Amino acid sequence: MAEIDCAITELAIDSLPDEKVLALCDTQMETQQQEVFSELQARH
């Protein structure tokens, strides 16, 4: 199922104009934030 979600996400991103992709990149978590979030998810 994860492969399908990934494919849908990638397809949607590929169809976006460059400025929208750059805006998405700006909203992504930094590495340290992602690690903390992943640890919290693993606990629950």
CA angle 27, 32, 29 (to 5 degrees): 10
pLDDT at 27: 81
Strands (E), 1-44: none
- Convert the pLDDT of each residue in 1-44 to its tens digit: 566 555 555 667 778 899 988 888 888 778 888 888 889 889 87
Answer left, alpha or beta for residue 30, where phi above 0 means left and psi between -120 and 50 means alpha. beta
pLDDT at 1: 55
In this prediction the pTM is: 0.41
Where are the chain's structural domains? 17-44
Look up residue 39 and give its amino acid. E
pLDDT at 23: 86
